[in-house]
Structure 1
Amino acid sequence: MDYRIKSFEEYQETYQRSVEQPEEFWAGIAENFTWRKKWDQVLDWNFEEPKVKWFVNGKLNITENCLDRHLATRGNKLALIWEPNDPKERFIRFTYRELHEKVCQMANILKRNGVKKGDRVCIYMPMIPELAFSVLACARIGAVHSVIFAGFSHTAMADRINDAEAKVVLTSDGLNRGPKQIPVKRVVDEALETCPTVEKVVVVDRVGWAVNMVEGRDVWYHEELQHVDKNCPAEEMDSEDLLFILYTSGSTGKPKGVVHTCGGYMVNTDYTFRNVFQYEESDIYWCTADIGWVTGHSYLLYGPLLSGATTLLFEGVPSFPDAGRFWQVIDKFGVNIFYTAPTAIRSLMASGLDHVLSYSLDSLKVLGSVGEPINEEAWHWYHIHVGKERCPVVDTWWQTETGGIMLSSLANVTPTKPGHAAFPLPGVQPILIDQAGEEITENEQEGYLCMKFPWPGMIRTTYGDHERCRQSYFSAYKNLYFTGDGAKRDANGLWRIIGRVDDVINVSGHRFGTAEIENAINQNKHIVESAVVGYPHDVKGQGIYAFVVCGDEAPQSPEHLRAEVIETVVDQIGKIAKPDKIQIVSGLPKTRSGKIMRRILRKVAEGETSNLGDTSTLLDPPIVDEIIKGAL
C-alpha cells in the first residue's frame, strides 16, 4: 500500500487525525507489514518511569520486512549499489534476492561463531557491503547490533564494547578513506586488550593486508563463507525486543547506549522515509551518512529496504579524488534522491562551482539535509547549484534518540523555508516550553523543544542504565520528552531549530559531550583543568574551542602542548573530536560555588565579548579580561 501524503491539504488532515487518534493512526500504518502475530495493544506508556511499548506482544522479524516480503515482486530489483572509494574500482550491485542470500550467509557465520538471540555484536567496519550484511544479519537472528563508527579510537571502541558486553566483533583488515588507507584491525586488537566479554572476531579482507589473527578468536569472513549456506530462517522477535544499541555522547564523559526496539522502529522508519522523500518505486536513493551514525541505520539501510527501495552505499569521501565526487556519483547512477549533511555542502561550496557545473545532475528530484540545521547560505547554494532550483530541499530534524525524522517538509507536498525544519510529521507532537516549564502557544516565540506524546521509533532506554535515560530525557519537564534543543515557530507555524541548550557540541552533525572531551584533555600531565565550548565554524557548523589551565610543571612550548592535547583527544575519542582552538589560560571564570561559566567562554569563543553580562559575582572577575586578551 502507498501511504504517501500527496498534498498539503492531505498533510493537514492526516496530521490532525494522527494527533486526535494516534493509536488508530499508527495501527493503520503497521497493518502494512508482515507480522507473525498481531499486537494485543497498540500502545502502553508513561513518561514518568519512562515506559513506552508499541504494538504490545506483536511478533515479527524486521529483516523479513526488509528482504523476504519483497522477493516475490522485487526479487530481481536492485536493493543495494556499492560505490567504492576509488572511482577506478568496480562498483557492485545486489538485487533483493542476492542481498537476502548475503544476509543469510552472514547470519549463519554469526551462529557458527556462537551468536544467539539477545547477544550483543559490535560492528567496526568501513562502508563496504559486508557492513550492511552484518547489521541485517544480527537483526535476522535476534542479536543486538552496536555499530561503532570506524573513525573512533581504540579507547572509545573499548568503552562501547564493554558497556554492551559484546560477545563478537565484526571488522575488516583496513579501510580506504580518500587517499589514505587506515589499519582497522589494529585498532580492534588494541581495544580488545581491555574487553573480556569478546569471544570471536570476524575479519573482512578489504585491503589485502596481512594482519594479526589471534588463534581461537579471529576468523576470516571469506573462509567462514565456505562453511555456511544461503538460507537462514528469521528469528521470531517481540515488537519490544532490542534491535540495536547506538552510542551517543551525553553531557557526562561516558557515552550512553541509546536502545531501539524492533516493531516501532520498523514502522516509524518506513513511514518517514516514504513521506519525507516522496520515494517512488523506480527511484535511486542515496544517503551519504556512515552506518556508524543513526542516519545510516534509519535512512541508508532500514527505511529504504523496508520500502523496497534501491539504496546506494558509498565508501569514499566527498573530496576524493576531487570535490566533484558526489556529483560524479549522482550522474553515474542517475540518483533521484540525495540526502547529505550541511557540513559536506559547506565544504563543497568552499571548493568552488567548477566541480558542480561539470555534471548535469538532471536525474535529481529531491535534496535532503541532516545532522544539524542548514544555514541559509548553504541552503540556497544547494538549492540553486545542485538542485537547479527544481528540487525541493527537505531540512530534516531528528536525533539518535528519536529513531526517525520528526520535523521536516515533505518533498513537493508541504511548504519549505530556508533555515526551517518546517512541520512535524504525522504522529509527532512537538511543544515549546519556557524556562518555567509552561507551554508557549503563540508563534514567533523561542523556547525549549519537547514532545508531549510517544511515537513508535523513540528511545526505550539507555542500555544497562534506565535511570540515565529518565534523567537525560524525561526529568526536565513533567510528562514530556526533552530534546535538549531550543526552537522557534514562525508566524505561519514553521519550526526552526536554534541548537543545543545543554553541554553538547554538534561537530559536522555528530554530537560530543563537553565532559567527554574535557576528560581526555585533562589526562595531559601539564593540564590541571580545562573547559570546552562550541563556536560557529564555516564548514563544520560548530568547532571545538578548548580553554586549558596548566600546572606548575610548564610544557616545552604552547605549540608542543597543543599538539599533545590534540594527540590525546584523537587517541581517546577519534579525529572527529579534536579541538580546533586551544587557548592556554591561567584560570577559568567560575562562580563562588566553583561552577565554570561556560556562557562567558562561549561568548569569547564566538568573538562576542561586548555583552558578557555581570561578571562581578565571579570568584575571580579579572580572569575574564585576561581570557579575552588571549583569545585566538
Structure 2
Amino acid sequence: MYTQTLVRRSPRSYDQRMASSRDAAHSDPSAYRSAYDRAEQDPEGFWLEAAEALEWTRPPTRAVDDSRAPLHRWFPDGRINTSVNCLDRHVAAGRGDQDALIHDSSMTGTVTRYTYAELLAEVARFAGVLRGQGVERGHRVIIYLPMIPAAPIAMLACARIGAVHSVVFGGFAPNELATRIDHAQPTVIVTATGGIEPKRRLEYLPAVAEALEAASHQVSAVVVKHRDGFETALADVEGRGGARWADWDELAEQAQDADPVPVAATDPLYILYTSGTTGAPKGVVRDHGGHAVALRWTMENIYDVGPGEVMFTASDVGWVVGHSYIVYGPLLAGATSVLYEGKPVGTPDAGAFWRVIAEHRATALFTAPTALRAIRKADPEGELVQEHDISSLRVLFAAGERLDPETQAWAGRTVGVPVVDNWWQTETGWPIGANPVGLEVLPVKVGSCTVPSPGFHVAVLDGLGEPVPAGTEGNICLRLPLPPGTLTTLWGDDQRYIDSYLSAFPGHYATGDSGLVDEDGYLFVMGRTDDVINVSGHRLSTGALEQALATHPAVAECAVIGLADPLKGQRPSGYVVLKSGVDTPDPGSPDEQDLLEELRQTVRRQIGAVADFRDVAVVEALPKTRSGKILRKTMRQIADGEDYTVPSTIEDRSVLDELQTVLRPRR
C-alpha cells in the first residue's frame, strides 16, 4: 500500500478522446435475447451455470428453493464465503499484485492504493479484531464510517467471519443511528473520529456516544479508526453508552488474522435500511450465495468490466449502489474499484469526475443522475472535460434517480460515450432494467433504461392486476421468484416483507414505480406510483412533465408535484433550478414572468393543454436524499399543508426549509 499526491494529466482534445475510445459493440446481436430467454425458461440451469464462476466450499446442486413461497431462497444446499471470492481466490490465482482498491480523496488530496494481497491482509487482520471483540457468525456489526478504506475493509471482514454488517452513513443523526442499533442489535459498532465535508468536519464520536445512550440495546464495543484533525478523542467518550471504546490500529497490532468461515448460501450477508424510512426501520436483507452469483454475473454481462479493469462508482457505501458496485461487484469480478471521497462539484470543481477517470484509467463510470445534473449546472458546455484524458472510458452508467432525457443527451455529447440508464432499487440489489453492454450493446432510447435484465420478468399491470397493452403506463411489477441477489426478506419480519411488497399483486413483487414497456420491449420508468397525478380525470406522469420542462435551455434540473385542487382533483406544480451562467430574474419582474411563461408553453407544446400546467417557480435548489432522490412526496405534503416527516437521509435540511416559503403559497 502506498500514498501519493494527486497529479493532473495533460489535457487532450475532444477529437483525440473520441478517436481513442474503444468501440463497445459486441459481435453477437442475439446474445441478450438468448440470455433472457434461458433465464426465463430454465432459471435452474441458468443460475447454476453462473454459480460455477465462484469458489464454493460446497457447490450448490439446486438453484431456487420455493418450499416457503412467496419467500424464495437461492442455492439452498450451497456453502460459500463472500470474502474468499472477493479476495483470496484472486490472490491464489496469481493476481495478488494487481490493484484491488484505489482510495481517491479530493478532501485530503491523496490517493491510496491496495493490491489484492494487501487488501486481503487488511481484511483478515480486521476480521481478527472483530473476533477479539466477541463477534461471531450471525452477529451484527454496524459500520458508521466515511468514504475511507476502513469501510470496505470492515464490510469484507464481517463477511469473512460470517457476521452480518449494516452500513449506516457516517454523520447520520444520533437518533437515527440509535433506531438502527435497536433494530439490528449489533455486537460492535465500527466508526471513525470523523468525516470531511467540503465546508466542514463532522465529529463522529459524540454522535455515536449519544446514539448508544439513547438506544435500548447494549453494544459491547466501539472500534474507532483514527483520522487526524478532529477534536474528540477516545478518552473523551470512554465508557459512554456502557461500551468499550478501542482504537482500530492498536487492536490490529495485537490481533491474529482470521481464517474465512464457510456459511450457508442462504445466510444473511448484510442489512441495509432503505432511504426515507419512517416508523419502524425497514432493513433489506441480502444473502451470501445469491448475492455473489448475481453481482459477479452483472459485472461481466451488464457492466462489461472484467479482471484488471477499473470501475469508478461515484456513490457512497451507505447506499446499495456502493455496496454492489464499489465493494462487492468489482472485487468479485477481479477488477479494480475506485473509492472516491469527494463531490461531483466543488472538490475542487465540476471536472472532479473527469480527473478521477483520467488519473486511474477507469473504463466505466457509474453515478447518479443528480450528480450529472449538478455538473451540467456548473459547466453547461462541458468545457472541463477537455482538460482531462478520459479516453479509457467506455460507458457511463446512471441510476438512483430518473435520468431525464436532456441530462442523458447532454452527458452523451459531453463525454462521447454511451450513457446508459439502469433502473433498480435497494431491494433488488442490481439492475431490473439496463442496457446489457457486456452481452450486447442495444440501441439507446432516450428516457428508457433499455430492457429487463435476464432473471427479471417485468409485468406492467393495471390497478386490478391485469396486464396492460404495450405502450400503456401502469404498475411495474416483477413476477416471482425474484432472481438471486435480490432481498430475501426484511430483517426480523417476514410478514412485513410480504405485506409491503408481495400482497398488492399476488404472484408479483410490487416495485412501487409506474411505467410502460413499448412495442420493442424497452422499459420506461416514469416515477413512483404516487407521482402519477389525476388532473380532471386525466392521469399524468410527473416524470413526463419534468421531461418536458427539462428541454428548456435554461433549466438544469426540475421537479413536478401534484397539488390538491378542489375543482380538478389535482394540478401540476413545477419547480426549476437554472443552469450556471443563466441570470436568475428578480421575483415579480417582467423577466421572471417571461421565463415562467416560456416554461409553461414548453410543457403545453409537448404534453398538451390537458396538463393544465400553470404553476411554476424558479428555486435555488431542490431537496434531495444523499443518494440524489428528489423529495417530491415531502414537497407535496408541505404544499398541501399535510403533516410530514423529513426523511433521515436528507442531504441538506436547509434546502427544504428555504423551499417552504415557495411551496406554502401554492396551496
The answer, yes or no, to whether TM exceeds 0.5 is yes
Cα deviations across residues 546-595 of structure 1 (Å, max 9, x unaligned)? 528999xxxxxxxxxxxxx99x958x66545666267889xxxxxxxxxx
What TM-score do you get using the length of structure 2 for normalisation?
A: 0.76
Partner of 1:455: 483
Partner of 2:35: 14
Q: Pick which of 24-33 and 413-422 moved more.
A: 413-422
1:241 aligned onto 2:317: no
Alignment check: 8 A CA contact 2:320 2:426 kept: yes
Deviation at 1:296, TM superposition (A): 0.4
- 1:82 partner letter: H
Q: How far apart in 1 are the matches of 2:262 and 2:390?
A: 43
CA gap 1:472/1:278 in 2 versus in 1, 3 angstroms: same
Deviation at 1:357, TM superposition (A): 3.0
**1:542 maps to which of 620, 630, 654:** 630
Q: Pick which of 201-210 and 351-360 moved more.
A: 351-360
- 1:324 partner letter: G
Say which SS state the counterpart of residue 434 (structure 2) adopts.
coil
Deviation at 1:289, TM superposition (A): 0.8
**1:164 maps to which of 184, 190, 200:** 184
Deviation at 1:366, TM superposition (A): 1.1
Identity %: 36
**1:81 maps to which of 83, 96, 102:** 102
Alignment check: 8 A CA contact 2:194 2:205 kept: yes
Q: How far apart in 1 are the matches of 2:47 and 2:113?
A: 34
1:213 aligned onto 2:230: no
Alignment check: 8 A CA contact 2:206 2:237 kept: no
Alignment check: 8 A CA contact 1:62 1:139 kept: yes
Q: How far apart in 2 are the matches of 1:482 and 1:250?
A: 18
CA gap 1:537/1:299 in 2 versus in 1, 3 angstroms: farther
Structure 2, unmatched stretches of 5+, are 1-24, 533-571, 578-621
What TM-score do you get using the length of structure 1 for normalisation?
A: 0.80
Q: Map 1:307-322 to 2 at 5 A.
A: 307-319=333-345, 320-322=347-349
CA gap 1:534/1:74 in 2 versus in 1, 3 angstroms: farther
Say which SS state the counterpart of residue 405 (structure 1) adopts.
coil
1:631 aligned onto 2:652: no
Alignment check: 8 A CA contact 1:260 1:459 kept: yes
Cα deviations across residues 149-208 of structure 1 (Å, max 9, x unaligned)? 124211111111110011110000011122321112221111111223211000001234
RMSD across aligned C-alpha pairs, in angstroms?
2.7
Partner of 1:67: 87
1:385 aligned onto 2:414: yes
Partner of 1:612: none
Q: How far apart in 2 are the matches of 1:448 and 1:438?
A: 10
Partner of 1:24: 45
Alignment check: 8 A CA contact 2:324 2:429 kept: yes
**1:330 maps to which of 347, 350, 357:** 357
Q: Map 1:576-595 to 2 at 5 A.
A: 576=652, 580=656
Partner of 1:428: 456
Cα deviations across residues 409-429 of structure 1 (Å, max 9, x unaligned)? 022622221111111111221
CA gap 1:252/1:349 in 2 versus in 1, 3 angstroms: same
Partner of 1:394: 420
- 1:376 partner letter: P
Partner of 1:339: 366
Partner of 2:383: 354
Alignment check: 8 A CA contact 1:152 1:574 kept: no
1:495 aligned onto 2:517: no
Say which SS state the counterpart of residue 666 (structure 2) adopts.
coil
CA gap 1:160/1:25 in 2 versus in 1, 3 angstroms: same
Partner of 1:45: 66
Deviation at 1:18, TM superposition (A): 1.3
Q: Map 1:169-318 to 2 at 5 A.
A: 169-195=189-215, 196-209=217-230, 210-211=232-233, 212-215=236-239, 217-229=244-256, 231-249=257-275, 252-318=278-344
Deviation at 1:468, TM superposition (A): 1.0
Q: Map 1:602-617 to 2 at 5 A.
A: none
Partner of 1:561: none
Structure 1, unmatched stretches of 5+, are 505-532, 552-564, 586-603, 606-626
CA gap 1:536/1:375 in 2 versus in 1, 3 angstroms: farther
CA gap 1:536/1:57 in 2 versus in 1, 3 angstroms: farther
Partner of 2:55: 34
Q: How far apart in 2 are the matches of 1:407 and 1:54?
A: 21
CA gap 1:304/1:549 in 2 versus in 1, 3 angstroms: closer
Partner of 1:96: 116
Partner of 2:555: none
Say which SS state the counterpart of residue 439 (structure 1) adopts.
coil
- 1:176 partner letter: I
Q: Map 1:566-581 to 2 at 5 A.
A: 569=646, 575-576=651-652, 580=656
